[in-house]
Amino acid sequence: MSSEIHIPPLAPEVVFHIGNINITNTMINAWIAIIIFLVLGIVLKRAIRLRPGKLQNWCEYFLEAVLGYFDGVTGNRKKTVKFLPIVGSIFFFVLLSNWLGLLPGTGSITVGHNMLLRPANTDLNLTLAMALVSVIGSHVYAFIAIGVFTHLGKFFQIKNFIKSFAQFKHGIADGAIAVFTALIEFAVGLIEIMSEIAKVVSLSLRLFGNIFAGEVLISVISALVAALVPTPFMLLELLVGLIQAAVFSMLTIVYLTVATSAPHGAEEH
pLDDT-based confidence at residue 265 (cuts at 50, 70, 90) = low
- Helix, strand and coil content of the chain, in percent to the nearest 5, comes to 70, 5, 25
Q: Indicate the DSSP class of residue 170.
A: G
Q: In this structure, are residues 108 and 102 in contact, taking their beta carbons and an 8 Å threshold?
A: no
**Model pLDDT for residues 144-173, shown as the tens digit of each residue:** 999 988 888 888 876 666 676 667 677 777
Which amino acid is it at 208?
F
CA-to-CA distance for 30 and 94, rounded, in angstroms? 9
Domain ranges of the chain: 14-148+200-259
pTM to 2 decimals?
0.84
- pLDDT digits over 209-259, tens only? 999 988 888 777 776 665 556 677 778 888 999 999 999 999 999 999 999
